[in-house]
Structure 1
Amino acid sequence: MKTVAQLIKLKTHVDVFTIGPDQMVLDALKLMAEKNVGALPVVENGQVVGVVSERDYARKMVLAGRSSVGTPVRAIMSAPVVTVGPSESVERCMNTMTDSHLRHLPVVEDGQLVGLLSIGDLVKEAIAEQASLINQLEQYIRGE
C-alpha cells in the first residue's frame, strides 16, 4: 500500500488552504466555498491547532442558532487535531480516520502542515489498489 507522501504527490489539487483560529466563521465559509473544499486546517503560529469543516458549521452554528459573522473559528473547530506523518500508510490513515470518526486528516512533517487528506482520497486509493490486485491475479490465472 502507498504511503501518505506518495498519495499527496498523486493528488491533482495539492494546495492546502488554511485559516486562523481568530478569523470569523464567515471567513472560513467563504474560503471553503471559493476553493470548493469541505474543511480547512486551523493554523496558529505555524502549527495545526484544529480543523474546521462544513459539518462543524452545521452542527455547532446552524443548529445552535449562532451567527457566523461574530463567531471565531476557534469556537467551532474540531480540536485537538489528529495528524499523520508522510511515511504513514494509506491503510493506517483509514484506520485512524475510522477509529476517530474523522473525514479530514492533516499531514504534518517536522511540525509543518504539508497536506490534507480526505476520506475520499483514501477510499479512491484503496479502490485503485484493489483493482490493480484483481488485474494481477487475473493475469496470473491466465498465465500471462
Structure 2
Amino acid sequence: MFLLALAGIVSGLLAASNFVIERLPDAKDIIEKLSPYQAMIGLVALILAALRLFSLFGGNSQVSILSYMMALGCVVATIVVGFLLSYPMINKFIAEQDETGNAKEKAEMLRKKLAPYQVTAGLVSMGTGVYLLLASIL
C-alpha cells in the first residue's frame, strides 16, 4: 500500500502540475525535476495500481470501508493518470508489436476519452495517496 500511495502522489502531482503550480508556486521546482521522468513514473504507477487492483478483491475483511474506498479511488485514479503519463512509452511499444495498427488506434481513442479527466484524476490520486500513506505509517 505504501508504494501505491507514493506512486499516486507523485503521478498525481505530475498529472495536475498546472493546477498545483497555480496554487503552490514553490512546487514548480519539484515538478520541473520530475518532468523528464514523467513517462517512466507513469508506467510504474500504472503497473503498481493494476497489481493492487487485483489484490483489492482478495477479500481482506479487516480493512474498514473508508480505507477500502480510498484504496479503490487511489487505484482507479492512478491507473488513469499512469496511462496518460506513460502513453508515449505505451504507444511506442504498441507500434513495435502491432502490425495492423488496431491496438494503436484503440489506445489513442482511450487516451482521448481520458484526457479531459487528467487533472481531476491527478488530484484524486494525490489526495487518496496522502490518505493511504498516512494510514500505512500509522
Calculate the TM-score normalised by the size of structure 1: 0.25
Q: Which has the higher contact order (CA 8 A, sep 6+)?
A: 2
- Determine which structure has more spread, i.e. the larger CA radius of gyration: 1
Calculate the TM-score normalised by the size of structure 2: 0.26
| Structure with greater strand share of residues | 1
